[in-house]
Structure 1
Amino acid sequence: MAFTRTHLTEVERIDNAGLIWRPIRRTLGVTAFGINGYTAEHVGEDLIEAHDETSPGAGGHEELYLVASGSARFAIGDEELDAVAGTMLLVPVGVRREAVATEPDTTILVIGGRPGAALPVSPFEYWYAAQGAVNAGDYGRAIAIASEGLEDWPMHGGLNYQLACYNALAGNRDDALRHLRVAFANDPRTREWAAEDDDLITVRDDPSLAP
């Protein structure tokens, strides 16, 4: 089977000293990051025990908390805040955090990993992140955002192709051609894309791009 599927309601509920823990990572067999859930059936029940990810039993994880259903009140460091369903909170290692339910049947998902350990991020993230600037016609900003990915993916065909498009739209002919040459050399599909891509109409017929 090419994927693993479950539903949150199917994940076991394990009562661990009053905390209802949902072993999502173990259920799905996730190996790239930690992900588990906590559920409180009643208002006022603990959801997240007080901790700062530095104790012997902790993984030293940067943690993202997503309120999947219901609502909760968090205490993070010296601050308290209410979090309704859909709220996401990223808490770094060393900051104390805890949460209680403020609605019945509240569930929080916790996604964690060691800071920096999951990098590099996928190449597509850079051109997806740049798209807002492209839509606004701010090609200089789009170039700046997408160029961040070159540190980890300097020869990636798709990333260089997108940078070629942004530079062509910005009137940076030499940079557009440079990125196109890298794209063509590392992903043959990009040559086909360029033939039909209006973003590259000012540069795609340059003799230096001939096969």
Structure 2
Amino acid sequence: MSGFEVARLDEIEEIDDGREPWRPIRHHFGITSFGVNHWTAREVGDRIINEHDEVDDENEELYLVTQGRATFELDGERVDAPTGTLVFVRPAVKRTAFAEEAGTSLLALGGVPGKVYEPQGWEVWAPLKALYEAGEYAEVADRLREALDAHPEYSELFYNLACCESLAGRTTAAIDHLSRSIEMSERFRAYAKDDSDFDPIRDEPGFKEVVGP
């Protein structure tokens, strides 16, 4: 097995989940120590990076403008970012970015200071989110099962599968997969306590046993 891999950006399948198209670099290479993806805007004025902060996940993020020109808004302050600009953002800062030229592209890297990186598989979940929001829970659950056959290392996929199975009336499977997600990452126990997706099974003894008081 080789100790390195090489790929061109256009060799990494582009994902379009209703935002700007992006390429899941971390997932493509199976990187387990940090997150990295590449985003591209279609038109001038398109929002490349959705407005968000990283307070809950505690991620520090670094953006590199690889093509075109972007305008970042960082806690309301506008920053001009032509090709080659690096923008480092700490967790509490509200951030977003817009394209000033068609085809503007950004490389985004992230990780939590002082903590081991946990690949969650959100790159696999993202294309299914629209189906989930449309209420197609059984179909999403079936597709997540297939995804987990190929990528059983992703704790977030087990959690999202449990959510969809709960909403689809698959109680036993939902509890089993929720338990698996918590075994992989304890944070999902706290998530499940307040997640309305589990309201259909919240009174089940198995759910209470897995999640606790």
Secondary structure in structure 2 of the residue aligned to 1:117? coil
The residue that corresponds to 2:31 in the other structure is 30
Secondary structure in structure 1 of the residue aligned to 2:21? strand
Match of 1:114 among 81, 101, 112: 112
- Unaligned segments of structure 1, at least 5 residues: 119-211
The residue that corresponds to 2:62 in the other structure is 64
The residue that corresponds to 1:95 in the other structure is 93
The residue that corresponds to 1:51 in the other structure is 52
- Partners of 2:110 and 2:91 lie apart in 1 by 10
Secondary structure in structure 2 of the residue aligned to 1:27? helix
The residue that corresponds to 1:127 in the other structure is none
Secondary structure in structure 2 of the residue aligned to 1:25? helix
- Partners of 1:41 and 1:10 lie apart in 2 by 19
Q: How does 1:168-207 map to 2 (within 5 A)?
A: none
Alpha-carbon offset, residue 78 of structure 1: 2.2
Alignment deviations for residues 31-75 of structure 1 (CA, whole Å, 9 cap, x no partner): 1111111111211111000000135xxx32100010011110110
- Partners of 1:86 and 1:77 lie apart in 2 by 22
Alpha-carbon offset, residue 19 of structure 1: 2.1
The residue that corresponds to 2:41 in the other structure is 40
The residue that corresponds to 1:85 in the other structure is 83
Alpha-carbon offset, residue 13 of structure 1: 1.5
Alpha-carbon offset, residue 16 of structure 1: 1.7
Normalised by the length of structure 1, the TM-score is: 0.52
Aligned length in residues? 115
The residue that corresponds to 1:170 in the other structure is none
Secondary structure in structure 1 of the residue aligned to 2:10? helix
Match of 1:74 among 67, 72, 75: 72
- Partners of 1:91 and 1:18 lie apart in 2 by 21
Q: How does 1:121-132 map to 2 (within 5 A)?
A: none
Normalised by the length of structure 2, the TM-score is: 0.51
Secondary structure in structure 1 of the residue aligned to 2:43? coil
- Partners of 1:19 and 1:104 lie apart in 2 by 12
Is the contact made by 2:20 and 2:42 (CA closer than 8 Å) also made in structure 1?
no
Indicate the structure (1 or 2) with the bigger Cα radius of gyration: 1
The residue that corresponds to 1:17 in the other structure is 18
What RMSD over aligned residues (CA atoms) do the two structures have, in Å?
1.4
- Partners of 1:8 and 1:23 lie apart in 2 by 10
- Unaligned segments of structure 2, at least 5 residues: 117-213
Code of the aligned partner of 1:5: V
Percent of residue pairs identical: 43
Q: How does 1:3-14 map to 2 (within 5 A)?
A: 3-14=4-15
